[in-house]
Amino acid sequence: MLKRGGLRLLTTGEIALAQKIFASSIRYHQVWIHHGSYLPFNIQDNNTAMTPNGEIWFETKVYRDDYSTATVDSQHLFLHEMVHVWQHQRGMMVRTRGLFSWAVDYYYDLNGKKLSDYGMEQQAAIVSDYWLLLNHGFYKYTESIKYKYYSPVESDRNLSLKYKRVLGSFPL
């Protein structure tokens, strides 16, 4: 395992995982993964990941040497953070918006808005939750998803259509 304080580039498996969502819309060779705290004095919570500047900072309890071979929950977190990489590479002020992420709502509804109408964290939740739905379904992972109105009686097909309406032409 990479020592705390170390950094690495994405693995080929992580790139392949991310390409399922982002295709070629991310400059993967520029994405660094850090094992440790982005915040000074190591005050980043041990269960937290942060992506303030196009690089991902995973603290010890959530760091993995290769997210493509990790648990579904770890892959879901990795893809959530990769949305922030995508946002950063498109010019969003992720670091500035991230200063207030403790006060924003990660939960969302799928009420017909476009992806760009949602906040930064909601966008990341929508994209990573959609990946979860398509690849594993929501049934076993209800604690991981941020969709406010999920009901296990709603079909995956119907849910998928709702996500597609919101995601529009997002790279998938």
| pLDDT at site 106 | 85
- pTM above the 0.75 mark? yes
pLDDT digits (tens, 9 = 90+) for 118-157: 988 999 999 999 999 999 999 889 889 999 999 999 999 9
How much is the average pLDDT of 62-80? 98
State the pLDDT confidence band at 52, using cuts at 50, 70 and 90. Answer: confident
Burial of 74 (0-12, 13-18, 19+ CB in 10 A): middle
C-alpha closest to that of 44 among 80, 92, 5: 5
State the pLDDT confidence band at 95, using cuts at 50, 70 and 90. Answer: low
| pLDDT at site 122 | 93
Give the rounded percent of residues in the chain with a pLDDT score beyond 70: 93
Which active-site residues does the annotation give? 81
The pair of three-digit structure tokens given for residue 55, joined into one six-digit string? 């690089």
pLDDT digits (tens, 9 = 90+) for 96-116: 555 555 556 889 999 878 999
| pLDDT at site 99 | 54
| pLDDT at site 91 | 79
| pLDDT at site 94 | 64
The pair of three-digit structure tokens given for residue 10, joined into one six-digit string? 């994405």
Please state whether 110 falls in left (phi above 0), alpha (psi between -120 and 50) or beta: beta
